[in-house]
Amino acid sequence: MQPGPPGQDMPRGARAEALPLRLLAPWLISVRFKAWFNHWQARFGQALELEAERRRPFLWLPVATGVGILLYFAADREPALWAPLTGFALSAIFAFALRTRRFASMACLAVAAAFAGFAAGVWRTADIAAPMLERPRIGKVTGFVESVEARDNGARIVLLLTEFAGMPAAERPRRVRVNIRAGSVAPGDHIAATARLLPPPGPARAGGYDFGRDAFFRGIGAVGSIAGKIASAPAPHPMPTRLAVDVTIDRARNALTRRIAEVGGGQGGAVAAALVTGKRGLITEATNNDLRAAGIYHIVSISGLHMVLAAGTIFWLVRALLALSQTAALRWPIKKIAAVAAMLGATAYCIFSGSDVATERSLIMTLVMLGAILVDRAALSMRNLSLAAMIVLLREPEALLGPSFQMSFGAVAALIAFAERWESRKCTEPPPSLPWPLGPVWAAALGIIVTTLLATAATAPFGAYHFQTFNPFGLLGNAMALPFVSLFVMPAAVFGVLAYPFGLDWPAWALMGLASDVVLKVAHWVASIDHSTVMIAAFSPVVLTCFVLALLWLTLWTTAWRWLAAVPIVLGVAIAGKPERPEILIERDGSGLAVRAPDGRLAVAGKPSRFVLQQWLGADGDSRSPDDPTLRAGIACDQLGCVAQTADKRTVSYTRDRLAIIEDCLRADLVVTAIPWSGACKARLIERMGLSRDGATSLYRTASGWSSRISEPSAADRPWSRRREPRLAAPAATSISIPPASADGEAEVERLQ
């Protein structure tokens, strides 16, 4: 008898076990995957239910509002207001109709919040719209002086124009900001002078920060300088009431600034004055650089830190004084009375310090949190922060695009989220206590270190995106400087302001000056450490979006959902690790360009302005200064122009002469000139007319040539986009003292630490 096939006489189970594993593998994997998927689906479903019970989805309404604002700014023309209002009304109706279905109603509310953000953008732009200068002009200017900020080499003033070079009122900018080198002017004066005005500068590079949009929402229609004589002139009409109030406040601010600076002395007095009045003009650039390198520049910008310290000092002082009375302590709600006093004091502080945009945002946050005390709620909560964010975004939608809003709210969100985790941990595992005085000292030191670490981690992506810098020793600088600011500087400021009307304020300003000097010494020491400032190449908005999503996901959720924040963090780091650097950068008026040399660094041809060159180097992650002689290495120049070669041996010509354009068009791969040119050219030509239309231009290497990105797309028709007329000669932009980036962007950056 012949034996049968192998396994034929085996039991049925044994034959099943003998089947090839490769036949069972797909089935096993499928079963395991389904089990794994069902397990995690159930866990995250339970987590979502728990988040809904804790009312955490409400915290995402400001995020939805921000999405609507971003969509508004992404439009290539000005939208109609009725469209988002209609969408808001329909979404709100659906949310009400579906109120019994929790998640459907939440989704409709999120859509309604997005439409509200879009409508707020449309409304804000229409409300603040004013003419902006289209091209450089020189002429006689008359106007009321709104504000004066003293500087080492003159002053910066804001003028409410009454006349400019015969321009009709419909085309004339409402406000202009100019620098003066000499002459005594005061707020409220009506002056006449010859000024050279420029349109507010657009982005220095494609994808860079739009300073023109920022100036539009600040009500500034032109920037420039007055170099000649300034004379008083009769006003064509009485001063507006609002301006009269602002002038009175600004005069008081200037007087107090001089008083604090004189008593405090030196740069310590200048910093002390800036903390009280918001006037930063007396702080030198060297001091600003030290503060930035030490990671404590936020202390000279009146922001959330100062508002909280000022309001907290008033709150403690009023509550302590009322507690001295047994009747008041037992019968009056002294905590609420102290909260009202702190709210009034914070509002007065905001008004007196100039009501800057960043200060107003900090005031809103402070008022919301103090208002929670009045209704017997916790002051520091994520819900209050979300409410403050909603108010700020609906009131000033443009704030979402600036570093100030992003960094301040990001830092506070991280701190409150940590406080929530810490409180829940203390309820389950009380921390060990240490004997006095080790306990309070250890708690204070640990609090400074932890809050600084959290705030630094939360704000680092925004600082790297907007300013291309990272300060690795910011923890050290903040840990050493903030105790002096919290314990001496700000309390002395409160007592000094209260004593100022009585003429007994000099001890407070002297103490502020001494404490500020210590802070500046700390800043200088930290700034002197090698690599105190690390330059980071600019990364794309996609990377910033990943980091923002990770921060929101990590702080707004309280359950296992928050660990999904690792996904956008890893994705953002991966994309940021390989930044896309342009091959060629061209200034918006054609006055200069930068070419990536064979060594991978930028080489400069022509005479780009110092401000633009700083922007280029920062975006490239290059720590060289604009005066570094190596920036001219590898560029051959003569009176007619310059010639450079890229890493792939392509020739770039920068031409200053019309006849040279013809020759360069025959031998170069790219010709850039500040001269208008409409003739034929075999090479790729970028000339003045095109730059006037497109703004700053960046070229990226491709296999067939270069792909271009422009800073001012011609399709974009927005109120802050300048419709500039072509001109025959490049304006001498380098001779105009245009406010640098630190005046419109970085100076308003605050970190609530």
- Classify the C-alpha dihedral 160-164-169-175 as positive or negative: negative
- What are the boundaries of each domain within the chain? 57-128, 137-239, 252-385+437-537, 541-576, 584-722
Quote the CA–CA distance of 751 and 410 in Å, as a whole number.
9
Q: Encode burial over 272-300: b for 16+ CB neighbours within 10 A, e otherwise.
A: bbbbbbbbbbbbeeebbbbbbbbbbbbbb
> What is the spatial distance between Cα 222 and Cα 233, in angstroms, rounded to a whole number?
21
Distances (CA, A) of 295 to 77, 245, 300, 624: 39, 36, 12, 20
Of 566 and 52, the one with more pLDDT: 566
Q: Is the confidence at residue 169, as pLDDT, over 70?
A: yes
Amino acid 752: pLDDT: 27
Q: Quick one: pLDDT at residue 730? A: 35
**The predicted structure's pLDDT at residue 426:** 58
With pLDDT > 90 as the criterion, what percentage of the chain qualifies?
17
Peptide bond into 437 cis (omega under 30): yes
Average pLDDT rounded to a whole number, residues 320-333: 86
As a dihedral over the C-alpha atoms of residue 384, residue 385, residue 386, residue 391, rounded to 10 degrees, the angle is: 90
Residue 711: pLDDT above 80?
no
> Which burial class, exposed, middle or buried, applies to 502 when counting CB atoms under 10 A from its CB (0-12, 13-18, 19+)?
exposed
Name the β-bridge partners of 482.
none
pLDDT score of 72 more than 70: yes
Beta bridge partner(s), residue 738: none
With 90 as the cut, is the pLDDT of residue 68 above it?
Answer: yes
| pLDDT of res. 716 | 59
pLDDT band at 463 (very low <50, low <70, confident <90, very high): confident
List beta partners, residue 593.
Answer: 586, 605
Give residue-wise pLDDT tens across range 719-742: 887 544 433 333 333 333 333 333
Residue of 327, 201, 319 whose CA lies nearest to 588: 201
29-60 burial, b if ≥16 CB within 10 A, otherwise e? eeeeeeeeeeeeeeeeeebbeebeeeebbbbb
Question: Quick check: 710 pLDDT over 50?
Answer: yes
Query: What is 703-719 written as a DSSP string?
Result: SSSEEEEESS-TT-B-T
Structural contact between residues 302 and 408, judged by C-beta atoms closer than 8 angstroms:
no
Mean predicted confidence (pLDDT) in 51-72:
90
CATH of 137-239, one of 1.20.140, 1.10.287, 1.20.950, 2.40.50: 2.40.50
Contact between residue 189 and residue 157 where contact means Cβ atoms under 8 Å apart = no
* List of residues 6+ apart from 708 with CB closer than 8 A: 697, 698, 699, 700
Does the pLDDT value for residue 744 go beyond 70? no
Residue ranges of alpha helices (H) inside 265-284 are 266-277
Q: Looking at residue 660, what is its pLDDT?
A: 86
Q: Is there a contact between 593 and 584 (Cβ–Cβ < 8 Å)?
A: yes
Name residues whose C-beta falls within 8 Å of residue 481's C-beta, 6 or more positions apart in sequence.
294, 296, 299, 518, 519, 522, 523
The pLDDT tens digits of the residues spanning 597-648 come to 888 889 998 888 888 898 899 888 888 888 888 888 888 888 888 898 888 8
| pLDDT(677) > 80 | yes
Cα 373–chain centre separation: 30
Position 750 confidence tier, pLDDT thresholds 50, 70, 90:
very low
616 and 605 Cβ atoms separated by less than 8 Å: no
CA 247 to CA 147: how far, in whole Å? Answer: 7
Q: Answer left, alpha or beta for residue 242, where phi above 0 means left and psi between -120 and 50 means alpha.
A: alpha
Q: Alpha helices of 160-226 — where are they, by DSSP H?
A: 211-217
Res. 547: pLDDT tops 90: yes
Residue 731 has a pLDDT of 36
Range among 3-7, 177-181, 575-579 with highest mean pLDDT value: 177-181
List Cα–Cα distances, 47 to 6, 553, 667, in angstroms.
53, 14, 67
pLDDT at 733: 33
pLDDT band at residue 22 under the 50/70/90 scheme: low
SS3 for 568-598, per residue?
HHHHHHHHHCCCCCCCEEECCCCCEEEEECC
Q: Does residue 493 register a pLDDT over 50?
A: yes
| pLDDT at residue 553, rounded to an integer | 92
Residue 112 has pLDDT above 90, yes or no: yes
Mean pLDDT of the chain, nearest integer = 82
Residues 671, 683: contact at Cβ < 8 Å?
A: yes
Separation of alpha carbons 273 and 150, rounded Å? 12
From start to end of 564-677, where are the E strands? Answer: 584-586, 592-596, 602-606, 636-637, 641-645, 651-655, 670-673
- The first and second tokens of residue 215, run together, are 């100036």
Q: Which amino acid is present at 690?
A: G
**Whether pLDDT at 510 is above 50:** yes
Q: Is residue 675 a contact partner of residue 661, using CB atoms and an 8 Å limit? A: yes
* pLDDT of 16 higher than 60: no
Q: At what angle do helices 102-128 and 61-74 cross, to 10 degrees?
A: 40
Q: What percent of the chain has pLDDT over 70?
A: 87
The helix, strand and coil proportions of the chain, stated in percent and rounded to the nearest 5, come to: 55, 15, 30
pLDDT band at 397 (very low <50, low <70, confident <90, very high): very high
305-323 residues labelled b (16+ CB within 10 A) or e (exposed): bbbbbbbbbbbebbbeebe
Count of beta carbons in the 10 Å neighbourhood of residue 209: 22
Per-residue confidence (pLDDT) for residue 751, from 0 to 100: 30
pLDDT at 239: 85
Q: What is the pLDDT of residues 569-608, one digit of tens each?
A: 999 988 887 888 889 999 888 888 999 988 888 999 888 8
CB-CB contact of 359 with 278 (8 Å): yes
